[in-house]
Structure 1
Amino acid sequence: MAARRKPALICCGAALAAAVVLAAVFTALYFTVLRPRPPRVTATVVGTRVSAFALIPSPALNLTFDVAVAAYNPNRAAFEYGEVVTVVRYHGDAVGEAVVPRGEVGARASAEVRAVVEVDAVEVFSSPYFPLEGIAGALPFETATTVAGKAVVLGVLKIRASSVVTCGVTVYPLRKETTSPQCTSTVHVG
């Protein structure tokens, strides 16, 4: 009877050793190659256009922000993102919005999308801050760009990530100039 147990023990031991080796290989692969990583997203205001500004006889403002959103995907799988939403705010109130359709960044690749946001002059003029800032000729705006999506590695390992990039820009409409944008980025993983 002891002779029958010996081949069974050897077989079970070999299967256990193979399972341990496979687990070690998959763990090493996960931590070195397959581990999902969040994408790196940056958004910058690459240009502003002031085509009209007047306070008298009636207020007029034609202002457009050009925002470039760049994403780098460090994963070995494509990163699929939903609609990219860019909102322009004047003292916290939304005065313009642009939506870029959903898309995909390939594995270990970069992509850039651009959004053009036209500012709603009526919203700016109705702000209680506008009379003083309009006369002073300096209008502070904030752009906020949101990107959210997921990467799926081997159809099993998933990572969801979202990024919000906020930029502050002061527009001098009389001189048709702007300050360099000051941007901050926040990434949420999970």
Structure 2
Amino acid sequence: MAEINRKKPALICCGVLLAVVVVLAVVFVALYFTVFRPRSPRVVATIVDTRVSGFALLPAPVLNLTFDVAVTAYNPNLAAFQYGEVVTVVRYHGDGVGQAVVPAGEIGARASAAVRTAVEVDAVRVVSSPYFPMEGIAGALPFETATTVAGKAVVLRVFKIRARSVVTCSVTVYPLRKESTPPQCISTVHVG
């Protein structure tokens, strides 16, 4: 009986310790899924302006075209989101005809950041396309821009979330009128 009385405080101590560990684990899991859960950033890229500074079909085809692209990102996490280079590519019928790169950076916790870049279109690649003669005469050139932002957020130095966002916009440029249609954009986010 005396031996059982000596083991009783040890059992109570182990039971209390186990209960504290279980409660801490439950609190930690609850905080992770409510407050500290890493969330993917929201990225929006739009074509702000299309500038046509020169267009001619004769004597030789000429096209001076620049797309101004604005990228806005919101970081909903309680930790900073570090992103790599922001790459914007302009395509004409699937062929790359322009590219701009914005240096890497960081968005603070629950903050937004805006980046603007200008992408100059390589006129030689557009004019040498087999689609250009008909579309150049018709005066409507379809372009697509794709902006990629990739990075990671680290919450409490333990939880990491990697996110990659690609925003694709379609726009038709009317170089004779020096106008363009409003961009139609689609955004996809890849987390993990």
Q: TM class by shorter-chain length?
A: over 0.9
Residue number among 62, 65, 68 corresponding to 1:66 in the alignment: 68
SS in 1 for 2:59: coil
2:49 aligned residue: 47
AA at the equivalent of 1:87: V
Q: How does 1:1-190 map to 2 (within 5 A)?
A: 1-190=3-192
User: Structure 1 unaligned runs (5+)?
Assistant: none
AA at the equivalent of 2:11: L
Residues 24-71 of structure 1: CA deviation (Å, up to 9, x unaligned): 110110011000000000100000100000001111111000000000
SS in 2 for 1:26: helix
In structure 2, how many angstroms separate the alpha carbons of the residues matched to 1:157 and 1:98? 32
In structure 1, how many angstroms separate the alpha carbons of the residues matched to 2:176 and 2:120? 18
AA at the equivalent of 2:131: Y
User: What displacement does 1:140 show?
Assistant: 0.1
SS in 2 for 1:29: helix
Q: Percent identity?
A: 79
AA at the equivalent of 2:157: G
Segments of 4+ moved more than 6 angstroms: none
User: Structure 2 unaligned runs (5+)?
Assistant: none
In structure 2, how many angstroms separate the alpha carbons of the residues matched to 1:174 and 1:90? 18
Residues 78-120 of structure 1: CA deviation (Å, up to 9, x unaligned): 0000000000000000000000000011000000101110000
Residues 129-170 of structure 1: CA deviation (Å, up to 9, x unaligned): 000000000000000000000000011100000000000000
In structure 2, how many angstroms separate the alpha carbons of the residues matched to 1:23 and 1:189? 26
In structure 2, how many angstroms separate the alpha carbons of the residues matched to 1:110 and 1:82? 16
In structure 1, how many angstroms separate the alpha carbons of the residues matched to 2:130 and 2:59? 19
In structure 1, how many angstroms separate the alpha carbons of the residues matched to 2:126 and 2:75? 37
In structure 2, how many angstroms separate the alpha carbons of the residues matched to 1:171 and 1:124? 12
In structure 1, how many angstroms separate the alpha carbons of the residues matched to 2:17 and 2:183? 61
In structure 2, how many angstroms separate the alpha carbons of the residues matched to 1:105 and 1:69? 13
> TM-score w.r.t. structure 1 length?
0.99
Structure 1 vs Structure 2 CA RMSD: 0.4
In structure 2, how many angstroms separate the alpha carbons of the residues matched to 1:42 and 1:130? 30
SS in 2 for 1:34: coil
SS in 2 for 1:117: strand
